[in-house]
Amino acid sequence: MTDGADRLRSLTGARADSLASRLGEPATVRISEFGEWRIYDLDDGSLRLRLSRSEPEGAEAEGRVAGWTLTLSVPADTLREASEPLGLWPDVAPDERADGFRMPLIRRSLPTTGAHGAGEHTLTATVRYGVITQVSVFDEAPDWY
């Protein structure tokens, strides 16, 4: 990814005040009682972030990135091609060819480390017409076991 894999690899859990230095200014911001959504236009696609608040509505709280979705400007044929430029490979191995995948989603556990210790997040790759069009990471452990 020409925008730098490190900016997306460790994006989940990042504080909202760190996003401008990592991603620039958002093209769109939407705030509701459930959280905040930001969209960034990157060289390699459109990045949508969901920030969760750490305080109740109305409080001056700094949110954190709870999940993100990158819509790829150039779809990928394999999970490795989609995830490696984002800094997520080989953590989401084994590889999967999109044209042979019968379900609309490829789901993987994504091991994490950080300020809150080791854990798991969820990676989802969206398959449309035999190619991967989106990659999403959420701050929740997989629920499909």
CA geometry: angle 41, 54, 122, nearest 5 deg:
60
What would the pLDDT profile of 9-47 be if each residue is shown by its tens digit? 788 889 999 999 989 999 999 998 888 999 999 988 999
Q: State yes or no: pLDDT of 127 exceeds 80.
A: yes
First to last CA, the chain: 31
Of 72, 29, 25, nearest to 47 by C-alpha is 72
Beta bridge partners of residue 137, listed in sequence order: 68, 123
pLDDT digits (tens, 9 = 90+) for 92-105: 999 999 998 888 99
Assign 114 a pLDDT band (cuts: 50, 70, 90): low
Strand-pairing partners, residue 95, are none
Q: What angle do CA 44, 50, 55 make, to 5 degrees?
A: 150
The predicted pLDDT at position 7 comes to 66
Residue 6: pLDDT band with limits 50, 70, 90: low
